[in-house]
Amino acid sequence: MLRELLADEGYLEKYHQLFGGFIRSYFDSGNFVKSLDRTAALISPFVEKDPSAFCTYNDFLAAQKVLREFCLLRAESVKGQLEGTIGSTNEGQQKSGNAGFIEASFADGSALDFNRMGNSFVSYNRIR
């Protein structure tokens, strides 16, 4: 259904406007970082003292850092796709040779690996 809606240029443009507004109001404004920090501060004391935790407190802190980094890079990628500097489809990305991809080879996704719960964690070195 979504594919059919977005095939309409008017709906696609409206979707892009709304998504761009979300990126500006939540990520560019700093609201995402504030929300993540507030949430982490709220639950940190409980994570640190939880005798049944499935990760260490240091793992929890490392995962926060990686999650922040990943989400901010992803938002940057979405902005690039909305602005047309990054292909917004697999086909467009392949045709451009992945031009404009956000470099993220420095990002260590292994800090999130304890969250697998039976699923494979997908490593990344570029954020699309």
Could you give the 3-state DSSP secondary structure of residue 93? helix
Pick from 72, 45, 80: nearest CA to 60? 45
The number of beta carbons lying within 10 Å of the beta carbon of residue 56 is 12
Please report, to the nearest 10 degrees, the dihedral formed by the alpha carbons of residues 55, 60, 66, 67 taken in order: 100
Phi-psi domain of 98 (left: phi exceeds 0; alpha: psi -120 through 50; beta: other): left
Neighbours of 37 (CB within 10 A): 13
Interval 58-99: pLDDT, tens = 989 988 998 898 899 989 999 999 998 888 878 887 888 777
Task: List, for residues 29-68, the tens digit of each pLDDT value.
Answer: 999 999 999 999 999 999 999 998 888 899 899 889 988 9
pTM score, two decimals? 0.76
